[in-house]
Structure 1
Amino acid sequence: MTTTATQHRTSQHVAHPAFRADEQLAGHLQQVLVDLNDLALQGKQAHWNAVGANFRDLHLQLDEIVDAAREFTDAVAERMRALYVVPDGTSARTAAQSSLPAFPRGEVATGEAIDAIVASLYAVAGTVRRVHDEVDAADPTTADLLHSVLERLEQLAWLTDAERRAPGTSVPAAIVV
């Protein structure tokens, strides 16, 4: 009898992870994943369709937002796998579950594109803030990842929104200390 190189194992593989996510943690990470995935899609939509004043600056800023969203999507999905959660980044799941406001279709004036992408950046940041404490209680290591995501998203929102702000007249008003 000849042995082939591709023999199937008949015994069950058993791993002994120090920590596994529960359903609540898995659900929170899935929501963050979906929102980040949608942010990357919206960023490219804006990148392709924004027109008007300061187009070039916005075009480059949108690339930075998309790169960050994609990097964080991958980091969150890989963290999910490390915790024995199967991430779902499909377009169907993203469309059904995203908590981001819809991005306008067609050509979009640069100011409107800025307002829309900033709203989406803050929506993802809101999701991260909403789930943070429960994630931290379940797994502080995963909460550390969310800290990085939140810090960068809020920085990108500030950098992008600054294009539309006016000193002393924007809402929310700046706090002067």
Structure 2
Amino acid sequence: MATSQTHRMFRTRVDLPTEQREKLVDLLNQHVADSMDLYTQVKHAHWNVKGRNFYSIHELTDTFAGELIPFIDEIAERATALGGHVSGTLRMAAESTSLPEYPNDLVDAIDHVHALVERIGIYANSVRAAIDQAEELRDKDTADLFTEISRLVDKRLWFFEAHLQGND
């Protein structure tokens, strides 16, 4: 996980103290990085999946990747609404992500599902923790954004895990 960013803050009339906004921007930037990384890992699986469950995993990964894109934008825009600066390039995300690197040697659909379940689970738990952090910093709007993301990510995690249940 990334350490505290250099704070480049802009004036805003959002009535949260600057110190709280800086912490929120750090939290949001971490989730921009993690979300971008998860998106690219899901697309990697989408492009490279093979085997018996090819079609269902190919479609599920494409759907999920498409759902992540708007969240990346909303997370970044929330950071800027708080007067923050977004670290938003792919290279910046790669330097800051808390997700493990995706294995480059996977082929079989179920192997991809195992790798994705691990990463989606880490991400889902991180988003849930972010809800609590935003609430502790008294920012209900950021907590609400993370709650919305959490609902979708938990649902997608269930869809991926369902491919493994009964096969363990």
TM > 0.5 between the two?
Answer: yes
**What residue ranges of structure 2 are gaps of 5+ in the alignment?**
1-10
Map of 2:25 onto structure 1: 26
Q: 1:117-153: CA deviations, max 9, x gaps?
A: 1111111112112232121122011100100101110
Q: Structure 2 counterpart of 1:44, which letter?
A: K
How many matched pairs?
156
Shift of 1:22: 2.2
Q: In 1, Cα distance between the equivalents of 2:89 and 2:143?
A: 24
Percent of counterpart pairs with the same letter?
30
Map of 1:16 onto structure 2: 13
Structure 2 length-normalised TM: 0.85
**What residue ranges of structure 1 are gaps of 5+ in the alignment?**
1-13, 171-177
Larger radius of gyration: 1
Q: In 1, Cα distance between the equivalents of 2:101 and 2:14?
A: 39
Q: 1:71-113: CA deviations, max 9, x gaps?
A: 1111111111111111112122211111112111145210010
Q: 1:108 to 1:89 in 2, by over 3 A?
A: farther
Output aligned runs, 1:56-135, within 5 Å.
Answer: 56-135=55-134
**Larger helix proportion, structure 1 or 2?**
2
Output aligned runs, 1:131-170, within 5 Å.
Answer: 131-138=130-137, 139-166=139-166
Q: In 2, Cα distance between the equivalents of 1:26 and 1:15?
A: 13
Q: Considering only aligned residues, what root-mean-square deviation do their CA atoms show, in Å?
A: 1.9
Task: Name segments (4+ residues, structure 1) moved above 4 Å.
Answer: none
Map of 1:5 onto structure 2: none
Q: Structure 1 counterpart of 2:66, which letter?
A: D
Structure 1 length-normalised TM: 0.81
Does the 8 Å contact 1:40/1:66 carry over to 2? Answer: yes
